[in-house]
Structure 1
Amino acid sequence: DVFYFDDRDLSWEAEDTVIKAASKAFAGLPTEVEVRNEARVHLWYAQKFGVACAPHASTEAAIDSFAATTCCLGVRLEPGGRWRVYAPHGLSDVFNLVVRPNPVLAPREVYETKAARWQQQWPELTVMGWPSQSAALAPSSS
């Protein structure tokens, strides 16, 4: 996935222009590249996933709400050519092929559907279950 944040024009037409340009740029890849403007997510999220989503203030804020902590990962090329990695949950689960729920926004069924699809594609994944309500409310030991 490629995601960006542009809150200057929240129209579908503006995002679609970027999607079409990316489609041409990535045409030679053997996989689909999905492009989304994270500034627009709040406009369609409830209709697609059944829960309201407040507008995100940045790409990082959007990443923080992704359905699995393993997906909470962004890489950006900064001016000057340096790479910036944003991984609020670290990279251990990524390298260890562990998928863990991030029950911040996405409903349980969204996480479980995505995790099942990923595990079918990559059977070596370890998929962690959705936390029970009591576990989600328990204070952190850190």
Structure 2
Amino acid sequence: MLERTASMALPGWYLTAGCLFQTVWNVVTGRSPTEGIKDYDVFYFDDGDLSWEAEDSVIRAGGELFGDLPVDVEIRNEARVHLWYERKFGVACAPHTSTESAIDCFAATTCCLGVRLESAGRWRVYAPHGLSDVFNLVVRPNPVLAPREVYETKAARWQRQWPELTVLDWPAAPAEPMETSS
């Protein structure tokens, strides 16, 4: 998968999201590495052409490249997210400045993980919150962008598949400062 994606030469690409942390969960809990994985996400960042046609061309090329695999591969240009995010999730999204900035906005910090293959067979791993929660089966909210409902829906689905998970609650809203009279 990584070698094929690298051959596409997509700018700033990463294999990311569930296919990574869920593989770890499966191995840690003694399941088959691919059990319960819905799809494989490939993110890239190309702000040179924000048209749907440019992204769709990459998606179609990926369809041909990965068509023989028994999995769904979803390829998305993260430079375009701000164009559709509010329509889908109900909150505005500022334009991302890189693939990493998009990964930083996942609903759970556990999801903030990306891997790619670089030259000479070297791997680049992007994990801004580290990997301890992934390996310790902890799902921690990341209220940077995604709404609480998105986090809670995903966490509930994951916990049904992996009941060993510890799902942490969405943080309470900070209390409003009390007005004092002088």
TM-score (norm 1): 0.87
Query: Aligned pair 1:60/2:100, yes or no?
Result: yes
- Specify the code of the residue in structure 2 equivalent to 1:73: L
Report the alpha carbon displacement of residue 26 of structure 1 after superposing the two structures with TM.
2.2
Q: Does 1:19 align with 2:59?
A: yes
Give the Cα–Cα distance (whole angstroms) in 2 for the partners of residues 96 and 31 of structure 1. 26
What code does the residue aligned with 2:100 have?
Answer: E
Give the distance between the partners of 2:156 and 2:59, measured in 1 at CA. Answer: 27
Partner of 1:133, secondary structure, is coil
Check if 1:45 corresponds to 2:85. Answer: yes
Q: Which runs of 5+ in 2 are unaligned?
A: 1-40, 176-182
Residue in structure 2 matched with residue 105 of structure 1 by the alignment:
145
Counterparts in 2 of 1:113-132, with a 5 A limit?
113-132=153-172
Q: How many Å apart are 1:36 and its aligned residue?
A: 1.0
Shift of 1:88: 0.4
Shift of 1:60: 0.8
AA of the residue aligned to 1:105 = L
* Partner-residue secondary structure (3-state), 2:76: strand
Given residue 148 of structure 2, which amino acid in structure 1 is its aligned partner?
A: R
In structure 1, C-alpha distance between the alignment counterparts of 2:43 and 2:76, rounded to whole Å: 5
TM-aligned CA distance change 1:23 to 1:125, over 3 Å: farther
TM-score by length of 2: 0.69
SS at match of 1:134: coil
Displacement of 1:42: 0.4
Question: Following TM superposition, where does structure 1 have runs of at least 4 consecutive aligned residues deviating by more than 6 angstroms?
Answer: none
Query: Rg bigger for which structure?
Result: 2
Percent of aligned positions that are identical: 81
Offset at residue 104 of structure 1 (A):
0.1
1:32 aligns with 2:68: no
RMSD after superposition: 1.5
Cα offset for 1:9? 0.9
Shift of 1:20: 1.7
Secondary structure at the aligned position of 1:103 is classed as coil
Residues 89-115 of structure 1 show CA distances to partners (whole Å, capped at 9, x for unaligned) of 000111112111100000000111111
Distance 1:84-1:32 versus aligned 2 partners, 3 A rule: same
More relative contact order in 1 or in 2 (CA 8 Å, sep 6+)? 2
**What is the alpha-carbon distance in structure 2 between the residues aligned to residue 37 and residue 123 of structure 1?**
33
